[in-house]
A and B are shown apart, each in its own frame.
Chain A
Amino acid sequence: MELLRLATAGSVDDGKSTLIGRLLYDSKAIFEDQLASVERASVQRGHEYTNLALLTDGLRAEREQGITIDVAYRYFATPRRKFIIADTPGHVQYTRNMVTGASTADVAVILVDARKGLLEQSRRHAFIATLLRIPHLVVAVNKMDLVDWDEERFHAIVADFSAFATSLLEVADVTFIPMSALQGDNVVDRSEHMPWYAGLPLLEHLETVHIAEDRNLVDLRFPVQYVIRPISGAHHDYRGYAGQVAGGVLRPGDEVMVLPSGQRTRVAGIDTYDGPVEEAFTGMSVTVRLADEVDVSRGDMIVRPDDQPSTSQDVEAVVCWMVDQPLREGGRFAIKHTTRWARAVVGDLRYRLDVNTLDRDEAATELALNEIGHLRLRVTAPLMHDPYGENRTTGSFVLVDEATNVTAGAGMIVSG
């Protein structure tokens, strides 16, 4: 059974909580005591109906203020797949949460209220999903019951979105589904009200959308995470380089190069707790033994000599800013890229992007909280990187404020 990571975007008003509630409830991932607790809370607070939003709003602060302040993770499974939902709020000030939830997602579901059509917020969500290179996008046109299941209305929204999508960087695979989360139409079961819709209901789409090919299985990238050297007689000479394969397929006997040193060697073996394996591919955590004694440490990267990433101290990136203190040219930060920490100084801020209009403000001199911009960074150590569009692991980094240790920015490398 495969694991699919899903990010949802939309506000409470779009019926997002209702949709998630229905997916969880219909797949039996909501338990009776959870439902009972939500029912109790709904009565206590004088809500007229069992408010499924209370199920996903976890913290007291949020319940008191009726908002969602952070990313929450939900789990459900069907016989075909196991799902992890990153539930992110849709308010203006929470771009950073959506970026966080979107960073690992295979599929993004963007909710649109059929009555209101594409709002500024929907455009922003679609833009962020595209920026984070979520490979599959679902535009869920919700509340179709409130527009009399009108086919014309649905197609108008599809046309609107498609027109907008042409202005996005590189649009993923987009699927439009008309639904009513409240009544359950096209969520788990096919809608009887919309015979004109020939596609799949949402859950079936999520169960069958092909995600295996989204990973990069071509370009070998193995960031060394940890060096395993047992201090015991039995394994005296053992030296293994542990890590998670970030791209490609590695096999014993392969000619490899260690970056940044450039030393060449061969793979002597690939070990796991369960014994040696014949190959390690993207997503696997393994321990690699090398044929020669080469100097390898955490932060280095094992690649093929004829297929190397860029290695440089200068990178161009799109950065989403996540703290109150604005990012300015000349600012210095700690940077984490794959398993490597270094320091970085912000060079030229090329432009700030308006996430609603996609306009570029080239006169901008800083990025405030929740703003996104294109900038250059100079790093104290070379980064072995690929464009984010080619590899989400070797193309991403975070900037950390050295005074507070808080993660301040998320970066996606454009080129180096």
Chain B
Amino acid sequence: MTTASPDQRLGRHELSHLDALESEAVFIFREVAAELERPVVLFSGGKDSIVLLRLAEKAFRPAGFPFPVMHIDTGHNFPEVLDFRDRRVAELGERLIVASVQESIDKGRAVEEPGENSSRNRLQTVTLLDAILEHGFDACFGGGRRDEEKARAKERVFSFRDEFGQWDPKRQRPELWSLYNGRIRKGEHIRAFPISNWTELDVWQYIQREQLEVPEMYFAHRRQVVERDTMLLAVSQWIQPRADETPFEATVRYRTVGDMNCTGAVESGAATVEQIIEEVAATRITERGATRADDRFSEAAMEDRKKEGYF
């Protein structure tokens, strides 16, 4: 618990909302570590997983993490995010596992979806499930939040996955009080979401409070972009302007970190965490709606991917 910014409105023995959310997340980390044999924490280099790693420090220091850190590398990442990933994990002194989607494709485990600019988002599921099997993981911590999306809003903190990694929304285990049920059979696993109850704003407020470093792309910068399906996509080796598109330079920032070919930027002048907090508090569009082409295919896009074993 930090005492860096005491909230004058709180009485004695009252926790601020960030302290309450932090305590709950720390509890979840410890519960998984105590009940499951081989957990792993997923780290994308994005803001939610940056918060996850800080919460893991809060849960286990002065000891090391009782699990490794794993990144599912789609091969379409923003290069600065990969640099950030390596630096952050090295600073923490923890072990990093990189599971590569390209390798899954090369081995014939996954097939690139047809079409220009196809997303590797779905393919990540194959790589993730293979990595879970290869390393014998029985629990994966993820940075999923219930405020992100409708299907996530109904997912448990301890989300049970069968031997195929599938999520069955109709057969979720009841989850009461803080009595999480991590019992599984061999081959099954638990996805654990310590920041289920956090919102995008909570995440930024926590980043500010904890003075966490995040990749530069979250802050306003100048970048060559094209406008496609009402989203601004960075011109890169994966995104080339089509005949009817004129690339232009804009001041943008990213609200989420995903693949370069499906993550849109938003026009923004927010150059500091404080300014991002102001912007997020005032925004009227969800982060996924604004920036993720992969969630736009259908009303149930996330539900369908989750059933297959997605994060």
Contact = CB atoms under 8 A, between A and B. Distances in A.
A344 to B, nearest CB: 14
B151 A277 contact: no
A70 interface: yes
* Interface size bracket, B side: 35 or more
Nearest to B283: A31
Contacts of A69: 169-170
B174 interface: yes
Contacts of A272: 1, 58
Interface in A60-115: 60-61, 63, 69-75, 77, 80-82, 84, 96-97, 99-100, 103-104
A100 B58 contact: no
B284 A2 contact: no
Contacts of A229: 63
B299 A274 contact: no
Nearest to A273: B58
Contact of A283 (B2, B15, B59): B15
Contacts of A339: 31, 34
Interface string A387-416: 000001100111010000111001000000
Nearest to B176: A103
A217 interface: yes
Given A231-B63, A298-B34, A284 B174 contact: no
B16 A100 contact: no
A84 B175 contact: no
A225 B181 contact: no
Contact of A96 (B23, B63, B174): B174
A45 to B, nearest CB: 11
The 7 closest A-B pairs by CB, nearest first: A33-B289, A58-B150, A230-B63, A285-B26, A405-B183, A103-B176, A3-B17
Residue of B10, B21, B63 with most partner-chain A CB within 10 A: B63
Contacts of A407: 173-176, 181
A327 to B, nearest CB: 14
Contacts of A230: 62-64
A274 B1 contact: yes
Interface of A: 1-3, 28, 31-34, 37, 41, 58-61, 63, 69-75, 77, 80-82, 84, 96-97, 99-100, 103-104, 212, 215, 217, 225-226, 228-232, 234-235, 238, 242-244, 249, 272-274, 277, 281-286, 298, 322, 334, 336-337, 339, 392-393, 396-398, 400, 405-407, 410
A19 B191 CA distance: 32
A228 B147 CA distance: 32
A283 B63 contact: no
Contacts of A63: 299
A70 B17 CA distance: 25
Interface in B145-159: 146-147, 150-151, 153-154
B154 A31 contact: no
28 contacts: A1-B7, A1-B16, A32-B284, A33-B286, A33-B289, A33-B290, A37-B289, A59-B150, A59-B154, A60-B299, A60-B303, A60-B304, A69-B170, A73-B153, A99-B176, A217-B13, A244-B23, A274-B58, A283-B15, A285-B30, A285-B58, A285-B59, A286-B1, A334-B183, A336-B179, A396-B177, A398-B179, A405-B185
Nearest to B290: A33
Contacts of A238: 62-63
Contacts of B201: 77
B240 interface: no
Contact of A2 (B14, B177, B178): B14
Contact of A31 (B21, B172, B289): B289
B181 A400 contact: yes
B251 interface: no
